[in-house]
Chains A and B, each alone.
Chain A
Amino acid sequence: MESEVLDPQQAKSRQEGVKGESAPVRAAEKKDSAASTPQATRTDNFLFGIPQLGVTQVARQVPLNEPPPMPANADLKYIGKPTPRYDGAAKVTGAGKYTADIHLPGMLYAYMVGATVPHARVIAVDVSAAERSPGVRAVHVIQHVLGNAELRDPAKEAPSTYPIVRYFGQPVAAVAATSQAAANDAAALIKVTYDPMPFVVHRDAARASDAPLVYPGPADQAGTAGGGGGPANVPQVGNVHGPSKKKIGDVSKGFAEADVVVEGEYFTQIQTHSALETHGVVADWKPDELTVYASTQGTSSVRDEFAAYFKLPKTKVRVITEYMGGGFGAKFGAGNEGVVAASLSRKANAPVRLMLDRRQEHIVSNRPDSHQKLKIGAKSDGTLTAIQLTSYGTAGVGTGAGTAGPATNMYKCPNLLTEEYDVFVNAGPGAAMRAPGHPQGCFALEQAIDELAEKLKIDPLAYREKIDDSPARKVERQIILEKTNWRNRRPPGADNGPIKRGIGISQSVWYRFVNMNSSCEVRISKDGSVELMSAVQDLGTGTKTVLAQVVAEEFGIPPQDVVIRIGDTRYPIGPDSGGSITMGSITPAARNAAHQAKQQFLAAIAPGLGVPAEQLVLLDGRLVVASDKSRSYTLRQAAAKMPTDEISARATRVAEYTKDRLTYGGVDYVELAVDTETGRVHVERVFGVHDCGRPMNPLGVVSQINGGILQGISYALFEQRIMDPGKGSMLNANLESYKIIGAREIPEIEVVLIENYIAQSSTDAAGIGESAGVIALAAAIANAFYNATGVRMRSLPMTPQHVLTALGKADRETHV
């Protein structure tokens, strides 16, 4: 993480630079900066820096009830130590109950009917046959579709009884029945009459001046609590919405000053999130409370949207997410499926399970595509003089396809101009997906930086050393130099045979976001058992495990002895998990709650022991009297002396100790082989060095980075949504022809974590979901591809067809 203070203009541009990030991220930003009411403070000295560069002490003003500064990981017992997953046994035995596994008494099964045309007015929806179908208990026709952009001026469109269909598969109606098969049967009997309209499903076609209009006037997508959404109230011409502009200095002056200029066009494809558990809920509408089991990244966002949609007080909506089968940015808010399930539950007076099927899951969300033009100028000594990026991308019927984050925030440059356009097409809405906009942006930026280095005749890694002032990435590059084959890198296209090997790197940038809606309660009971409660959810990122470590560290007991109850809005509010926000937001609240509970506990039992509370220490599962080490008790024995049966404390996230805007960075190194006869690219080795502040659980962090790297390879080489321009549907909405990386394509991966103490909170933890390789891999692969072949890959995915085309070897047969 860098820790420089930015000037206000740059800070603003950086904030805006995080284009397309999830709404809770943006909301959190505001809350963060607003939370600055003066309060009593004290001065503490905190660790600051990266061990490789030297860790120093820095003084911070902190609120009086903050716990003492946390020592370095090396001096801690549980935090920073590889810790097996809290719910590992439940996951390997199949005992963990995911939303799709919830079965309530009398529960009905639902199926949603999607539009079979990509653009139409719905004239009629005939549900009579469905209602008579065996086992059917309720039918619901959708009145309002969530997720689509909304016209700024609704009068631009003639009123319609039913929502206008703007993409193939858009939810229209749904059925709840006594079995899934009965629901599916009945759903097939729903007759929808359409008045079709012209449509367009590809970005380039949609930009044409005579293209069919997805919206008859300017439209904006507010975004749900975390999914999608882009800049509002920008110009819109036809389907082209934008630009959203950022400007620093004067790029024409910058290019005039440049000795070397590189310029290129880059194309990236649409990727679907493809979590293995689909979007879905079990909704149980009761007169006194709506209970929703949701596969979500944000229990709070789901509760908020249900409360708003159904005009219920938040106190009457309960959301539960105990186990969750993957989100990657797509699962926030109630969603159409949630609203539909709750409506069906209300009508049928029974709980309803509605999980999307695999085809629907491919349509519900995606990472937008991009067409980027990037131009960078530098002086002969390498100093950057200008960066100019224009990007067009489609988020279907939504917005949020911007890619300017990396170009804006990776390297400092005095002159910058970015212009981002969203292009509407008749396809499902885009959503935040692991580092929104950044894999796309990096694919362009980091190739251009390599090109610049080549023109300047500087080693690409050494060139980054010159233009990048991030201390974290400096350390990371050094580790790559020491631990990889980088120094033996050969000139481009050095192999003579058909198999060509190459090496490449790319860097990444992400941002430290904090959500102040992060609270925990920690309880100790008279039997010495300790538990933590928070509404925060664990997507598989290991939230439960780290919370257990944090409480364990305070109480001096092993993490497995702490009970973690999370993923339920009945507990204190938790942050939505988007933008790598969770670790950095919730762990300080957990530590503070644990610390306060411990202090209360010690104060409560001290009189019974006849010693001042300050003399009591919790260590290795025991309570020790510091002045008389012979007096020690198990936690259970000590707790038995509590005057009440339970002591608990609740803490909410305290504002960051400073207002510095911090970024995270990673550097990823790739070795690959290109088979120039088949066009196949084989990634053979990845070496990733990453920064997540203080690594809380290295075991879990490495898991996430492995995942980011593999998703990055999958994006670079395999995945692409293919639309049928004639019918407007997705042709490969399944898992056999939408290719995702599998066991056979897994390279050797090595991950190194750096420690980066930033003195910003009581834990200094940070998330790693975004900055986990997923940003850098496509660019690193492209740079390695160039090193292997001497040819630049400017289009993703690098399928055999694209590779052979780039190598000039494609003939008619290789084109689809």
Chain B
Amino acid sequence: MSDPQKPSISRRGFLKAASVTAASTLVESVHAVAKEANEASRGPRTSGPGLVPIVLHVNGIAHSLTVEPRLTLAEALRDSLGLTGTKVVCDRGSCSACTIWLDKLPTLSCMTLAIDVGSRNITTIEGIATGSQLHPVQAAFVKHDAMQCGFCTPGMVMSCVALLDRNPSPTLDDVKHAVSGNLCRCGTYPKVFAATLEVAQGRKLVNPIISANREKGA
């Protein structure tokens, strides 16, 4: 992406962003763009095709980036930030391998443009454990062996943790529904169900401790 871009759109937001980026004061530029974005949010705004500065808030850390407007959030996470736990399998919204959370809402990062995330908080699989302490759902996945090749596993974990956050007492059917978009070619579903249900049941017994962990993890 080091090649010169030829801006062909002369909308206010774009030009302002481009010129500030050229001044290479990234933090300032971010503020400027944010301000600009606020102003622009009252009317239609176009970005690109040149590089656009953005800030992504990922797992509690703000990252300043300049990205092509067409860059998906999945690509930004994986290629720009090195957060490769998020997997891309279909790149068109049919497998949920790329599931992350935007403000706790499970979202397909392959179907989300990085420039559209705005100030929302992104949580990726790398942000689920607390240090070396696995989230109870992750620990249950390991205990039940709810993985084989593991390529679908980050997406599965994101879906299942989110389920338990919004529904602490899911039924088997609720779990199936929560991962109904998550494809697993190795066939780990039975153990994904068992692991998730076990955490839900265990949580009823030791609710305070695990909730506290979960808060930290999320």
A positions within 8 Å CB-CB of B: 84-85, 87-98, 100-101, 103, 134-135, 178-182, 274-277, 323-326, 328, 357-358, 539-542, 699-700, 702-704, 706-711, 734-736, 740-744, 746, 749
Q: A134-B4, A276-B183 are contacts. A735–B148 as well, Cβ < 8 Å?
A: no
Q: List B contacts of A541 (CB < 8 A).
A: 148
Contact in complex: B147, A85 (CB < 8 Å): yes
Q: Which of A84, A93, A180, A541 has the most CB of B within 10 A?
A: A93
5 contacts across the A-B interface (CB closer than 8 A):
A89-B134, A180-B75, A324-B149, A735-B90, A740-B183
CA A707 to CA B91, docked complex, whole Å: 24
CA A275 to CA B97, docked complex, whole Å: 12
Is B193 located at the chain interface by the 8 A CB criterion? Answer: yes
Determine how close the nearest CB of chain A comes to the CB of B163; give it in whole angstroms: 12
Q: Which of B5, B85, B191 has the most CB of A within 10 A?
A: B85
Contact in complex: A325, B151 (CB < 8 Å): yes
Q: A84-B143, A276-B97 are contacts. A92–B157 as well, Cβ < 8 Å?
A: yes
Closest to B71 in A: A181
Closest to B97 in A: A276
CA A94 to CA B157, docked complex, whole Å: 10
Q: A93-B125, A94-B125 are contacts. A88–B147 as well, Cβ < 8 Å?
A: yes
Determine how close the nearest CB of chain A comes to the CB of B52; give it in whole angstroms: 14
Contact of B186 among A98, A707, A744, A749 (CB under 8 A): A707
CA A274 to CA B89, docked complex, whole Å: 10
Is B209 located at the chain interface by the 8 A CB criterion? Answer: no
Q: List B contacts of A91 (CB < 8 A).
A: 147, 150, 153
Chain B interface helix/strand/loop/mixed? loop
Is B126 located at the chain interface by the 8 A CB criterion? Answer: yes
Binds A, one of B17-25, B34-42, B113-121, B174-182: B174-182
Q: A94-B154, A735-B89, A746-B176 are contacts. A539–B149 as well, Cβ < 8 Å?
A: yes
Contact in complex: A706, B138 (CB < 8 Å): no
Contact of A276 among B134, B151, B179, B191 (CB under 8 A): B151
* B:88-121 near A, CB below 8 Å: 88-92, 94-95, 97
> How large, as a class, is the contact surface on chain B?
35 or more
Contact in complex: A711, B149 (CB < 8 Å): no
CA A540 to CA B88, docked complex, whole Å: 18
Q: A743-B180, A746-B176 are contacts. A134–B3 as well, Cβ < 8 Å?
A: yes
CA A94 to CA B193, docked complex, whole Å: 20
Q: A96-B150, A275-B185, A744-B176 are contacts. A178–B1 as well, Cβ < 8 Å?
A: yes
* B:113-145 near A, CB below 8 Å: 124-126, 128-129, 134, 138, 141-143, 145
Closest to A326 in B: B149
Contact in complex: B141, A88 (CB < 8 Å): yes
* B:162-178 near A, CB below 8 Å: 175-177
Determine how close the nearest CB of chain B comes to the CB of A781; give it in whole angstroms: 15
Q: A84-B143, A734-B90 are contacts. A742–B183 as well, Cβ < 8 Å?
A: yes
CA A775 to CA B1, docked complex, whole Å: 48
CA A56 to CA B79, docked complex, whole Å: 58
Contact in complex: A276, B148 (CB < 8 Å): no
Closest to B89 in A: A276
Determine how close the nearest CB of chain B comes to the CB of A745; give it in whole angstroms: 9
Q: List A contacts of B192 (CB < 8 A).
A: 743
Contact in complex: B191, A736 (CB < 8 Å): no
CA A89 to CA B177, docked complex, whole Å: 25
Determine how close the nearest CB of chain B comes to the CB of A775; give it in whole angstroms: 15
Q: List A contacts of B128 (CB < 8 A).
A: 93
Closest to A540 in B: B149
Q: List A contacts of B143 (CB < 8 A).
A: 84
CA A19 to CA B150, docked complex, whole Å: 30
Is B86 located at the chain interface by the 8 A CB criterion? Answer: yes
Contact in complex: B148, A703 (CB < 8 Å): yes
Q: A734-B90, A744-B176 are contacts. A93–B145 as well, Cβ < 8 Å?
A: no
* B:182-202 near A, CB below 8 Å: 182-193
CA A741 to CA B189, docked complex, whole Å: 10
Q: Which of B179, B180, B189 has the most CB of A within 10 A?
A: B189
Q: A84-B145, A734-B92 are contacts. A328–B153 as well, Cβ < 8 Å?
A: no
Determine how close the nearest CB of chain B comes to the CB of A181; give it in whole angstroms: 6
CA A274 to CA B182, docked complex, whole Å: 14
CA A88 to CA B154, docked complex, whole Å: 11
Contact in complex: B142, A84 (CB < 8 Å): yes
Q: List B contacts of A88 (CB < 8 A).
A: 141-142, 145, 147
Contact in complex: A703, B185 (CB < 8 Å): no
Q: List B contacts of A740 (CB < 8 A).
A: 183, 185
**Mask of B1-37 contacts with A, CB within 8 angstroms, 1/0:** 1111100000000000000000000000000000000
CA A183 to CA B92, docked complex, whole Å: 19
Q: List A contacts of B188 (CB < 8 A).
A: 703, 706-707
Contact in complex: A100, B91 (CB < 8 Å): no
Contact in complex: A746, B190 (CB < 8 Å): yes
Contact in complex: B94, A735 (CB < 8 Å): yes
Is B64 located at the chain interface by the 8 A CB criterion? Answer: no
CA A741 to CA B92, docked complex, whole Å: 18
CA A323 to CA B78, docked complex, whole Å: 16
Is B152 located at the chain interface by the 8 A CB criterion? Answer: yes
Contact of A135 among B3, B84, B193 (CB under 8 A): B3
Q: List B contacts of A742 (CB < 8 A).
A: 180-183
CA A276 to CA B153, docked complex, whole Å: 11
Contact in complex: B187, A707 (CB < 8 Å): yes
Closest to A545 in B: B145
Instruction: Add 15 more A-B contacts to A276-B185, A744-B177 (CB < 8 A).
Output: A84-B145, A92-B134, A96-B150, A100-B84, A103-B82, A276-B152, A277-B149, A326-B149, A358-B91, A540-B186, A699-B145, A700-B145, A707-B188, A743-B176, A744-B176
Contact in complex: A93, B134 (CB < 8 Å): yes
Determine how close the nearest CB of chain A comes to the CB of B171; give it in whole angstroms: 13
Q: List A contacts of B138 (CB < 8 A).
A: 89, 92-93
Contact in complex: B185, A328 (CB < 8 Å): yes
CA A736 to CA B97, docked complex, whole Å: 14
Contact in complex: B150, A323 (CB < 8 Å): yes
CA A700 to CA B149, docked complex, whole Å: 11
CA A541 to CA B87, docked complex, whole Å: 20
CA A278 to CA B152, docked complex, whole Å: 13
Contact of A178 among B3, B134, B175 (CB under 8 A): B3
Is B70 located at the chain interface by the 8 A CB criterion? Answer: yes
Determine how close the nearest CB of chain B comes to the CB of A539; give it in whole angstroms: 6
Contact in complex: B1, A93 (CB < 8 Å): no
Closest to B126 in A: A94
Contact of A325 among B70, B82, B126, B149 (CB under 8 A): B149
Q: List A contacts of B179 (CB < 8 A).
A: 743
Q: List A contacts of B176 (CB < 8 A).
A: 743-744, 746
Q: List A contacts of B82 (CB < 8 A).
A: 103
Q: List B contacts of A708 (CB < 8 A).
A: 187
Q: List A contacts of B129 (CB < 8 A).
A: 93
Q: List B contacts of A135 (CB < 8 A).
A: 1-3
Contact in complex: B190, A94 (CB < 8 Å): no
Determine how close the nearest CB of chain B comes to the CB of A563; give it in whole angstroms: 17
Q: List B contacts of A703 (CB < 8 A).
A: 145, 147-148, 186, 188, 191
Determine how close the nearest CB of chain A comes to the CB of B183; give it in whole angstroms: 6
CA A541 to CA B187, docked complex, whole Å: 12
Q: List B contacts of A92 (CB < 8 A).
A: 125, 134, 138, 141-142, 147, 150, 153-154, 157
Contact of A326 among B1, B175, B185, B191 (CB under 8 A): B185
Contact in complex: B142, A706 (CB < 8 Å): no
Contact in complex: B157, A358 (CB < 8 Å): no
CA A98 to CA B147, docked complex, whole Å: 15
Determine how close the nearest CB of chain A comes to the CB of B153; give it in whole angstroms: 5
Contact in complex: B126, A710 (CB < 8 Å): no
Contact in complex: B190, A749 (CB < 8 Å): yes
Q: List A contacts of B86 (CB < 8 A).
A: 94
Contact in complex: A276, B149 (CB < 8 Å): yes
CA A618 to CA B68, docked complex, whole Å: 60
* B:42-99 near A, CB below 8 Å: 68, 70-71, 75, 78-79, 82-92, 94-95, 97
Q: List A contacts of B4 (CB < 8 A).
A: 134
